[in-house]
Amino acid sequence: MASLIDKLKGVASKKDKSIACFVDGPNMIRKDTGVDLGKVKKKLQKFGSIKVAKVFLDQFASDKLIEAVTNQGYEVVIIPSDVDVALAVEAAQFIFKSNIDIIAIVSRDSDFKPILTKAKENGKETIIVGSEPDFSSALKNTADIVVNAND
């Protein structure tokens, strides 16, 4: 009987975990990846409650894309150049917030391996959500949990 109670506590604690999610828009929101941000959110919610959901887009993002991303419940961050550095800096800030348990990066780009490593060093769980083609093996081998956005 005690083992059943322990299992139920484990399920409850998973649901109580808070997630900060950061999406590499130019890398993931493309016709060749077929990624649906609504499905990404649903997949992440299996691991906890999403408290932060940001999509980083470059200056070429159309108004229609920005509206679609916003309608999915994500905060849009427009960057006038490459989004990688801005996303990594933002994610790094959440590594040190005690109210966040999990750092989730939605990308295929190995440039985000250091942020996953730093998050793990600081006691955060890490999730990488990616898709083929070109889903980085380095990301898959660094994250605690790997989620294929198209499964």
Q: What are 28's two structure tokens?
A: 């993931």
- In whole angstroms, give the CA distance from residue 102 to residue 105: 10
pLDDT in tens, 6-31: 555 555 455 689 999 999 999 999 88
The pLDDT of residue 5 is 54
The pLDDT of residue 48 is 96
pLDDT in tens, 32-46: 888 899 999 999 999
pLDDT in tens, 103-130: 999 999 999 999 999 999 999 999 999 9
- Domains along the sequence of the chain with CATH: 17-148 (3.40.50.1010)
- In whole angstroms, give the CA distance from residue 45 to residue 49: 6
The Cβ of residue 9 has, within 10 Å, a number of other Cβ atoms equal to 10
Which pTM does this prediction carry?
Answer: 0.88
The pLDDT of residue 14 is 57
Burial environment of residue 38 by CB neighbours within 10 A (0 to 12, 13 to 18, 19 or more): exposed
The Cβ of residue 24 has, within 10 Å, a number of other Cβ atoms equal to 22
The pLDDT of residue 58 is 94
The pLDDT of residue 4 is 53
The Cβ of residue 34 has, within 10 Å, a number of other Cβ atoms equal to 11
